[in-house]
Amino acid sequence: MINAPLSELRRALDAREISAVELATLFLDRIDAANPTLNAFITVDRDGALAAAREADARIAAGTAGPLTGIPLAHKDVFCTEGVLTSCGSKMLANFVSPYDAHVVALLKAAGAVMLGKTNMDEFAMGSSNENSHYGPARNPWNTDRIPGGSSGGSAVAVAARLAPIATGTDTGGSVRQPAALTGVTGIKPTYGVCSRYGMVAYASSLDQAGAFGATAADCAALLTAMAGFDPRDSTSLERPAEDYTRELDRPLDGLRIGLPKEFFGPGMADDVRAAVDAALAEYRKLGATTVEVSLPNAQLAIPAYYVIAPAEASSNLSRFDGVRYGHRAAEYGDLADMYEKSRAQGFGAEVKRRILVGTYVLSHGYYDAYYLKAQKLRRLIAEDFRAAFTQCDVIAGPTSPTTAWAIGEKSDDPVQMYLSDIYTIAVNLAGLPGLSHPAGFGADGLPVGLQLIGDYFAENRLLNAAHRYQQATDWHARRPG
């Protein structure tokens, strides 16, 4: 059961070969055994999980179970969960118990999924390695001295180590796809606005989007189907008909045109990553797809544009954490201004402070036009590059990360090198496009390599279909860390 895909878990639950309570207990016991080493979970809610599992068993017995009823899952600790700690990996919210559920959490609860707990993450989703967490880094199960990627590192580790069969994450600049690649699982970020941001603690509001982790594309499709949907409480939520992301999984790939951006295959990609990506593309050709070179001429500007826009939005969003209404408050202070200063200085970590300072600077008088406005213009150019590329192809493919997972602490003193690890993922968020990463082999050090697929707006089905057919022909997704 631990390594079974969702389809097998669903069959076993419906056939009463295992109960939802037994299944939840199986994963909870596994978390108890492995989490002290992997640090994937910040909070484990055993009582809540078993209560939800009992409700799921009742629904199964009544014949009203849905695809996720009784299926255990983990939520990234950026989603508000009623009655459960929601820390965002920060000392600032280390005592915050949410009074309500995020929309995504509410949808999955209504679907009968069983929440096991909340996963580790970079503080306020700011990071690419999970090293910025107040609770310490999550550790890559393939090598516990290596990072799992970030910011949704805990969710990726939970799925890779089979502490949970599926998990939610968020993706602002690659924070689902990059950790999925580095831990050998599948992760998808849908088109901006497909999943509601209500109750998802904000980092950069025009970039943040909920995403899904699973061992396979089919598992991600089932999870995304339950997560997606219009929410009037989120002004950026898109009002579209409900979508079944599992409906086109088995479509043949004959005639699929895969675009290969020449900018993704230049210097900077490690040789072992390049070899794995080339082999994955060869497999796609065997499955009937064709490849064509395309160009994204402004892709190299994605990182500087992102690190102006995202910190600017973060500096505004994080101004609400002032020690007054909730969150950390300094124990000693002189007056109100002193309380603000000390509470924020004590509550935020170094990377969050860095981004707040950068964001405040680029929004300040005299610099707005020079930095923020110019970055928004570059953002539009990047989106136009993708629009032009999709006239020549159906999906775009390339590496998810330029390297495999690096050692914990290796890049901590060099923020720019850390930022460059997202060089292939950030442009997708700037354009608001869907992106998926699936396992595509291993590097020279025995660590996973991911292949990224990028689609046009609302092309999630096409991405999931391509990844699913690839996974039917290969077994990289079935490999498990020792």
Query: Which candidate in 19, 133, 152, 175 is catalytic?
Result: 175
**CA–CA distance, 117 with 437 (Å, rounded to integer):** 24
Q: Is 76 a catalytic residue?
A: yes
Residue 111: closest CA among 73, 83, 78? 73
For the record, the structure tokens of 230 come out as 């219009």
Select which of 98, 151, 152, 343 is catalytic.
151
> Has 129 been annotated as catalytic?
no
Whether 19 is catalytic is no
Q: How many other C-beta atoms lie within 10 A of the C-beta of residue 419?
A: 18
The residues assigned a catalytic role are 76, 151, 175
